[in-house]
Chains A and B, each alone.
Chain A
Amino acid sequence: AQSVTQLDSQVPVFEEAPVELRCNYSSSVSVYLFWYVQYPNQGLQLLLKYLSGSTLVKGINGFEAEFNKSQTSFHLRKPSVHISDTAEYFCAVRPMHRSNTGKLIFGQGTTLQVKP
């Protein structure tokens, strides 16, 4: 079984400041890792994903994340946030079996509030 824990329910930050959204996971099998963003009244948009290779993954809108296997973490970072980054962010894992192409296990979400 898999589980995902997002360590902060809300993260307030001032515009142009750096931000880190924390995600830990637990799994008995190997998993792929994802970060999704959800703007109000919308579906989920993929920010970035870790499948294999370099542990530092770059995504859209200037976000990046680092996979740490020993700490089972996949923290999301951005060096300078904008007002438009205000949204809900979800960390998710997916078992590495081909039949599981759609089965994602999500964390509870972190609300990023960017203040002017």
Chain B
Amino acid sequence: DAGVTQSPTHLIKTRGQQVTLRCSPKSGHDTVSWYQQALGQGPQFIFQYYEEEERQRGNFPDRFSGHQFPNYSSELNVNALLLGDSALYLCASSSSRGVNTEAFFGQGTRLTVV
């Protein structure tokens, strides 16, 4: 089992550009959540996808959007990048079956906006 995989591992973008980050969930998981972790901070919940729809959203602007595919993999898109978007972006997968399930995290994508 490969666990949760994210790509790319590192990315450098220029202010104003757009970026797409990718996540493949752990085998058997159908729910994907995205988090932003700024340097020295705890992860902040961006949104959660289940059944190809956004189910919950944290306090992030509409520049942050996502998608979930039929194979449960997911993308995070960020438009009009700001310097403040520089962070580690973490993907977590979990199962909707049963309430006592834990979230498994990927290694993250380090985004640097210059």
Having A46-B103, A102-B103, A103-B33, one finds 16 other A-B pairs with CB under 8 Å, namely A43-B105, A44-B43, A44-B90, A49-B102, A90-B43, A98-B96, A99-B55, A99-B56, A101-B96, A101-B99, A102-B31, A104-B45, A104-B103, A106-B42, A108-B41, A109-B40
A44 to B91, CA, bound (A): 10
8 Å CB contacts to B: which residues of A24-57?
Answer: 32, 34, 36, 41-46, 49, 51
Question: Is A106 a contact of B94 with CB atoms below 8 Å?
Answer: no
Chain A residue total in the interface (Cβ 8 A) = 27
8 Å CB contacts to A: which residues of B17-40?
Answer: 31-33, 35, 40
Q: In whole Å, how far is A105's beta carbon from the nearest beta carbon of chain B?
A: 7
A18 to B44, CA, bound (A): 30
Contact of A43 with B42 at beta-carbon distance under 8 Å, contacts A34-B102, A102-B31 already known? no
Please give me the 4 A-B residue pairs with the lowest Cβ-Cβ distance, nearest first.
Answer: A102-B33, A106-B42, A43-B105, A44-B105
Chain B residue total in the interface (Cβ 8 A) = 32
Counting CB contacts under 8 A, is B107 at the interface? yes
Q: Can you sample 5 A-B contacts with CB below 8 Å?
A: A36-B105, A43-B105, A43-B106, A98-B99, A101-B31
Residue of A nearest to B42 (CB): A106
Question: Is A42 a contact of B107 with CB atoms below 8 Å?
Answer: yes
Most chain B CB within 10 A, of A42, A44, A51, A105, is at A44
Counting CB contacts under 8 A, is B48 at the interface? yes
Residues of chain B at the chain A interface (Cβ within 8 Å):
4, 31-33, 35, 40-45, 48, 50, 55-56, 90, 92-96, 99-108, 110
A90 to B108, CA, bound (A): 16
Counting CB contacts under 8 A, is A83 at the interface? no
> Mostly helix, strand, loop or mixed at chain A's interface?
mixed
